[in-house]
Chain A
């Protein structure tokens, strides 16, 4: 469906179901240089199991108009504005990587609007290497290549995708390559600069879930530990043999973690 926030078009995938404010809502927020399609299986599941689903394209990504937002707080406020635009008073937020930071910030800044937060591949702080930032700033393709390598666990870089016939590395690369120049750098810089992760975690009052990939080198398990200790009553699910690209690597395990929480 198409929404408008601040006069700019927003695309939200709804699992081919209409938005129904009477149903509990789940909003999915993707990571850097991605779009809604990374949530295909999980978002369809909830859309067909009694929830209203908005799997968003963040500003400047996928089908949503730009520009990309330059800070985690800006994305967090935008998520709250999307709920208003969709006529949803409240929603659970599910975020991956940069989207997880935005969901965390949104729960702290807009507590009345957020019922639960599920943070996949989170880190506080989410430091991005100088080399990767520099490559992204230069719109050098090597930035995508490094992200692809670091985001996918060694086993899944070879194969064994659970989605029949699909090549995880190729799919992830083609998706990132569709991002407009500059967007990846904006995203990574926003993650890198955000120092408010633990403050936000202290302010959160809603239930929270952290889903951590045991082999995540983009947001390693140790980078999520402080968040887990700070978020009151946080539930933590660690997926074995899983990298940062967890929705692609372990779609069913991610879904099961979310089902048990949402």
Chain B
């Protein structure tokens, strides 16, 4: 009889992965290695560290022992090969893109994106020669027909922001691989507790770790994780296909900026991370502070228990709002009338997170009154905090988008986005009920 492999479970990994009792002091908690640099034992060791002949830390822009624990932990939780911690979620997205492509390249992205990601792709990257075509994430033909010879990446969010379009990762990944392209997924809203995109075929994952991974809302940070499956040089080993051949010279051709290293030959499974660290962190410099990494680690330790309550509270609030006369729509994929209900049941059996949009039957003035009447919900630009949050996307996170783009992203003037926290759900319902009453009288 075949023995059953014994691997650590998710909850255990949230507490332990990447960490050991500190070898220097025995400290059980991961220490904050608040040091810019690390002493070399001798000149040969120094040269070997610089030339990737030995493992270790040189300078905290490139790597840091506290950050390394966080990177290893998220890689373990996602089921990837490794990760890089960045200054923000936006920095993680930027690092992923610039590691894979340069001027003249093209991205196909879901149009249901966080406003900040949309800004980067639609307004800023074209200035550097990288164009993006936005498509309805539910329309596989639209993804297919948007792919051009110069396309280098497909990109979407596990749950589109803010309409909660569920990305059919397996189908979009299969399409991407048929064209020799990787699929990058923003998994911020779901975290690996709700879903692991690599299990469904995604190649790269990034997080704004500011959100649920941290949970405390006190830091800004990002993580990009490599699944280690994509076949960058199109040899036919791993995800992708021969169509990838020649598409990723940053990984498959010698890089003069690092001793003519060909990253896909140096590392069979982690070429992307090697280039991202050796070039992207080195030259663009959007590294994470060790203190930030430590604070995110504190959050991840309680991720399973927090996510369970986030989801339970969200379900209570969704139930309350759906039946309220001032509420026109609640977009939550667990509801049978959500267009991705069946897909969500398959992909997200543990729940669909705790961020969702609500359409009020209200004038703009009533919407304003609603938000300003809330007492427990904080009106601010963030999601995934332990505290409940509220925002009006059309005037804040998505204000640069045209009316047409807003409509395409499922946002109206009356759309309110809620991020449900960990408070007593009865208190949240009372807060919402009172604010809706105040709005009705406005």
Contacts and interface: CB of A to CB of B under 8 A. Distances in A.
Given A16-B261, A155-B20, A159-B73, A45 B81 contact: no
Contacts of A13: 265-266
Nearest to A140: B2
Interface in B13-58: 16-20, 23, 48, 51-57
Interface stretch (A80-88, A103-111, A141-149): A141-149
A7 interface: no
A159 B17 contact: yes
B5 A146 contact: yes
B68 to A, nearest CB: 4
B54 A164 contact: no
Contact of B51 (A44, A131, A167, A177): A44
B314 to A, nearest CB: 30
A84 B267 CA distance: 27
B67 interface: yes
B304 interface: no
Given A146-B3, A165-B84, A171-B81, A37 B266 contact: yes
A197 to B, nearest CB: 26
Given A164-B71, A165-B71, A40 B228 contact: no
A41 B48 CA distance: 9
Interface in A102-148: 131, 134-135, 140, 142, 145-146, 148
Given A16-B261, A171-B228, A45 B54 contact: yes
B238 interface: yes
A41 B53 contact: yes
A61 B19 CA distance: 32
A162 B268 contact: no
Given A45-B53, A178-B237, A158 B82 contact: no
A48 interface: yes
A183 to B, nearest CB: 11
A134 B265 CA distance: 32
Nearest to A160: B20
A203 interface: no
A62 B268 contact: yes
Interface stretch (B101-109, B269-277, B341-349, B417-425): B269-277
Interface string B52-77: 11111100001111011101110110
B80 A175 contact: no
A116 B120 CA distance: 56
Contacts of B75: 165-167, 170
Contacts of B20: 155, 158-160
A165 B18 CA distance: 9
Contacts of A155: 20
B320 to A, nearest CB: 41
A173 B107 CA distance: 30
A234 interface: no
**Dominant SS among interface residues on chain A:** helix
Given A16-B262, A170-B76, A48 B238 contact: no
Contacts of B269: 37, 171, 174-175, 178
A252 interface: yes
Given A44-B52, A44-B53, A160-B19, A169 B76 contact: yes
B285 interface: no
A149 B84 contact: no
Interface size class of B (residues with CB under 8 A): 35 or more
B72 A159 contact: yes
Nearest to B68: A164
A159 B18 contact: yes
B79 interface: yes
Nearest to A62: B268
Interface string A34-56: 01010011101100100000000
Interface residues of A, number: 44
A174 B82 contact: no
B2 A171 contact: no
Contact of A148 (B5, B72, B254, B259): B5
A60 B67 CA distance: 37
B195 interface: no
Given A158-B17, A165-B63, A165-B68, A170 B80 contact: yes
B427 interface: no
A251 interface: yes
B51 A37 contact: no
Given A146-B3, A167-B80, A174-B229, A159 B270 contact: no
B63 A178 contact: no
A142 B254 contact: no
B8 interface: yes
A155 B3 CA distance: 21
A170 B81 contact: yes
A252 B41 CA distance: 13
A255 B73 CA distance: 26
A145 B79 CA distance: 13
Contacts of A62: 237, 268
Interface string A218-260: 0000000000000000000000000000000001100100000
Contacts of B254: 16
Contacts of B261: 16
B297 to A, nearest CB: 11
A42 B266 CA distance: 12
Contact of A166 (B8, B53, B72): B72
B6 interface: yes
B404 interface: no
A251 B69 contact: no
B233 to A, nearest CB: 9
B82 A159 contact: no
A175 B6 CA distance: 19
Contacts of B23: 160
B92 to A, nearest CB: 13
Given A140-B2, A252-B54, 17 more contacts: A44-B52, A44-B53, A131-B3, A158-B17, A159-B18, A164-B55, A165-B63, A165-B85, A166-B72, A166-B270, A167-B76, A170-B80, A175-B269, A177-B238, A178-B268, A252-B56, A255-B53
In the A-B complex, list the 6 residue pairs whose CB atoms are closest, starting with the nearest. Answer: A165-B71, A164-B63, A174-B228, A145-B5, A45-B53, A160-B20
23 contacts: A16-B254, A16-B260, A35-B268, A40-B52, A134-B2, A140-B2, A145-B7, A146-B3, A149-B6, A158-B18, A161-B68, A164-B71, A165-B273, A166-B75, A169-B7, A170-B76, A170-B81, A174-B227, A174-B228, A174-B238, A177-B238, A178-B237, A178-B269
